[in-house]
Copies of this chain bind each other. A is one copy, B any other.
Amino acid sequence: MDFVRIGVIGLGNMGTSHASYIHKGDITGARIGALLEERPARVAELKQHYGDTVPIFENEDAFFQSGLIDAVLIATPHYSHPRLAKKAFAAGLHVLCEKPAGVFTSEVREMNEAAAESGLVFSLMYNQRTKPIYQKLRELIQADKLGKIRRMNWIITDWYRSQSYYDSSSWRATWAGEGGGVLINQCPHQLDLWGWLIGKEPARIRSFCSFGKYRDIEVEDEVTAYLEYDDGATGVFITTTGEAPGTNRLEVTGTKGKVVIEHEELSYWQLETSEPEFNQTYTGGFGAPKHTQIDVSIDQDGNDHKGITQNFVDAILHGAPLIAPGQEGIYGLTLSNAMQLSTWTDSWVHLPIDEQAYEQQLKKRIHASTGKKIAAETTLDVSDSH
């Protein structure tokens, strides 16, 4: 194979952006093979934009059986991700899927199994994994520079979304359409990075979500979650779409030091003696282990979305290791599901999550939903989105 023919599924905000840079030739070894879009009005716009240069399908089966594509990039609403991915694997197509992997973990597990059986390349659009600042933090942790991780706090409240954003699409911010709000739509990146950075998953979660607190929506728009690990580590995750100016501050502390990422800068403090060792030997009462602030060089900004798409194509063509293997999508989704479930049950959620309990609670909300009336569907420019 000299190049990968990618079929983009779903030409909403993100799909349009992906199709555009691939079509422009920004991804080495990739071309647009076809597009799949079911909304007639959007199809008309696409035909006007692409003319005869790209085949546009309105029928899913015809698209999958066209023989025009080697891989799909799925950018449809969340619920459909696992179903479409499984259909692609069955058709022998590699899959790059937008985040989140799905809405609940049981079907994501099935998708992962289908991917494993197929032997095809499966990746998720966790583009923030390509950011050098997070790669550097992961490197420090993996090199044991922070020692045993004890605490992780992420205040990620710069996902500001106005009511007009929510009103741009009828499926957005509904239980039936998205299965959640800020957790499932904006935070999949942070929830993915959370486990990817420290390499462990929590034992239990206690979370406090507010639903439609700042916006006229039925899903959560504010979350504070507390996480506990079997090894004693703790975490706090705070997010909202209702706050301006927001904060994006990640703090990770371990027995050997501390890292803070804020304002796109990484600060690293290294202890001269590890905290437990200092504590064992110090006799002075007041006093703490000495530390040094270490300068850490960070590369230029990563390739973001294009970086993940390029890596996906390189994996198909040259066997490059994936930055964001599809199978890892279940970890962040588990955190998201658990944070909602803990609020709904007003109690701890122990991991692995009780998938049946989660689905029951979600379905209850889908059934109770009154739906959402909007003036008109709008395709938003996501060039500044993450």
A residues adjacent to B (C-beta < 8 A)? 150-151, 153, 155, 157, 160-165, 168, 206, 208, 210, 213-215, 222, 224, 226, 228, 232, 234, 236, 238, 240, 242-247, 251, 253, 257-258, 260, 269, 271, 275, 278-280, 282-289, 291, 378, 380-382, 384-385
Contact = CB atoms under 8 A, between A and B. Distances in A.
A214 B168 CA distance: 50
Contacts of A247: 251, 253, 258, 260
Nearest to A166: B285
Contacts of A246: 288
Nearest to A293: B245
Contacts of A380: 285-286
A384 B283 CA distance: 17
A224 B222 contact: no
Contacts of A162: 278-279, 282, 284-285, 287-288
Contacts of A289: 244-245
Nearest to A276: B214
Contacts of A280: 163
Contacts of A285: 162, 164-165, 168, 378, 380-381
Number of copies: 2
A286 B172 CA distance: 14
A260 B279 CA distance: 31
19 contacts: A150-B242, A151-B240, A151-B243, A153-B155, A157-B253, A160-B288, A162-B285, A163-B279, A164-B284, A168-B285, A206-B206, A213-B232, A215-B279, A226-B226, A244-B275, A246-B288, A247-B253, A285-B380, A286-B382
Given A258-B247, A271-B245, A286 B236 contact: no
Contact of A224 (B168, B214, B226, B271): B226
A253 B249 CA distance: 14
Centre residue among A245, A253, A284 by max chain B CB count within 10 A: A245
A269 B263 CA distance: 14
Contacts of A378: 285
Contacts of A381: 285-286
Given A160-B288, A222-B234, A244-B275, 5 more contacts: A153-B155, A161-B286, A162-B285, A163-B279, A243-B253
B208 A234 contact: yes
Nearest to A285: B380
A169 B108 CA distance: 56
Contact of A282 (B151, B153, B164, B382): B164
A367 to B, nearest CB: 27
A255 to B, nearest CB: 9
A294 B284 CA distance: 42
Contact of A245 (B161, B206, B258, B286): B258
A208 B226 contact: yes
A292 to B, nearest CB: 10
A291 B244 contact: yes
A286 B164 CA distance: 8
B275 A155 contact: no
Contacts of A279: 162-163, 214-215, 242
A283 B279 CA distance: 56
A153 B283 contact: no
B224 A234 contact: yes
